[in-house]
Amino acid sequence: MTQANSALSSANGVLRAHHLPFRLRAGHNSRWVSVYENLPGRRVRERAVRGCSSQDDLAIEELCFRLVSEARRQPGATLEQLLGSPGDEPGGMAPRLAPSWPEICDAVVAFQRRQGVNMNLVGPFKGQGYFRLLPADGAAREADVRRFALHTGDSLRAHLADPAEPLVPVATHRQGFRQKREVVSLLRRAGFGSIAPESLSEELKGMVNHKKVVLLAAGESRRRIPSTEAIQEWLDQVIEEDPLWGWLFAMVATYGLRPHEVWHIDGLPDQNGLITIGVAARHIKVTKTGFRAAVPLPAEWVERYQLGGGNGEQRLEELRRRHVPKFVNEDGEPFDPERDLVKRCDNNERLGALCCHKLRSSDAKAEFELKNKLYAWVETAPAQGKKKAQKRKERCVPYDLRHAYAIRARETTTWNYADVAAVMGHSPEVHRRTYLSEISSEQTKASVVRRLLSGGSEAAAG
């Protein structure tokens, strides 16, 4: 894919995310970009935008932003109304300054709101967020984004108030730095790749735990995958220590859930042990990937940890009472069932962070963490002068339970990739690339043997 086509594809993704009927493409036998509008009755209206070269990424991004911002100011306007009549501008598309931060902030918030997830990421673009405090009379720059990503929030605000105040580098191993990286990615996905380029994201990614980056580049494992026996022993201890959080982590481990999905369980285990997450309606998306059913593995954990029945109902109600999910409509206002059709959860990231803090997090208060820790053996690069890889025990995070579920399904069942991916709520490609990348040779062998023996038994029975 050429660079120009990549820019056009990115712009069309932004237009699609804003639910606009416009698309961009390289003009036929022309060096200018064409904008075409999908009309009722499968009709199309197209117009070449003189001055916007199909080889100019910045011009394509500016045209995309112009369409989005004008469409928000003039809902239902035609292409001519948004861009002006072809004869209005003798030189083609009128020159225009790059967008300012107030314009970008409005566009990013609107973009993310339509996605329906991770509204916490738009904090820097709302109210007294950092980007809202930047000067409104100039064009936004990549330097602004870089400064935001590399320094602490307190020092950024102090520096804005008094330029003599020093900027304090952010700790790249903390949760807050990951959120800053996601904000940079959000800017790019919203159509502002000129100030949040892919190269900046790659640079920030390379700053996260340098040792981890080196090991990943060498093909060494860094994901902490606890064994089924270790998880069961740990859950037994946590249930005794804190019944509510023990129940939550048992749900995550038994069904391979994303931590925030526990709050959105719609149906507790039925007679077959299956649960449902979310609501089966397109306009209601309270989890990352919408409604799905999940299967217990191993099934005996449902009874062992009393995940369903009266205990399950009590724990789920208590969890939602202690840490309340925040539901909003498509405009980001509190959800009203009498008024609104669209329903989203606005604080899933915060709910997931609570689970991380319970297990291990440098951002958490020590008294909030569980006393009983979950560990897994991790293989690291060989020490200098050694040929064999080293192994050591490291503390796990909630997502390690989800990865353990994926490997357990591969090792102990005959389910195919698509089945496991469906119950976990992602695509088969993501499942192979991400969730099975840590599987060991012994686990792969156990999976193959199980599948062959199962196939032979079924053939004999038939």
Our measurement of the distance from residue 282's CA atom to the centroid of its chain's CA atoms, rounded to an integer in Å, reads 19
Q: Is residue 190 part of a domain?
A: yes
Our measurement of the distance from residue 289's CA atom to the centroid of its chain's CA atoms, rounded to an integer in Å, reads 10
Q: Say whether both 266 and 315 belong to one domain.
A: yes
Q: Say whether both 49 and 110 belong to one domain.
A: no
Write down which residue in 341, 356, 376 finishes a domain.
376
The model's pLDDT over 23-57, given as tens digits with 9 standing for 90+, comes to: 888 876 677 888 888 777 777 777 778 778 878 87
Q: How many domains does the chain have?
A: 3
Q: Say whether both 144 and 251 belong to one domain.
A: no
Q: Say whether both 78 and 105 belong to one domain.
A: no
If you write DSSP's letter for every residue of 135-187 in order, what string do you get?
-SSS---HHHHHHHHHB-HHHHHHHHH-TTSPPPBPPTTSHHHHHHHHHHHHH
Write down which residue in 376, 394, 421 finishes a domain.
376
Q: Say whether both 301 and 354 belong to one domain.
A: yes
Write down which residue in 25, 53, 83 finishes a domain.
83
Element (H, E) at 49: strand 43-53
Q: Say whether both 144 and 260 belong to one domain.
A: no
Q: Is residue 326 part of a domain?
A: yes
Q: Say whether both 124 and 156 belong to one domain.
A: yes
**Whole-number Å distance between alpha carbons of 25 and 32:** 9
Q: Say whether both 357 and 242 belong to one domain.
A: yes
Amino acid at 452: L
pLDDT (tens digit, 0 to 9) for every residue of the chain, 462 residues total?
444 467 788 888 888 877 788 888 887 667 788 888 877 777 777 777 877 887 887 778 878 887 887 777 777 777 777 776 544 443 444 444 568 898 889 888 888 877 666 667 788 998 888 999 998 888 888 899 999 999 998 899 898 888 888 989 888 877 678 889 889 988 988 888 888 888 888 888 888 765 555 555 554 556 788 999 999 999 999 999 999 999 999 999 999 999 999 999 999 999 999 999 998 887 788 888 888 999 999 999 999 999 999 999 999 999 999 999 989 887 778 888 888 888 888 888 889 888 988 887 555 567 788 999 999 887 665 655 666 667 778 888 899 999 999 999 988 888 888 889 999 998 888 888 777 766 665 656 666 666 666 654 443 333
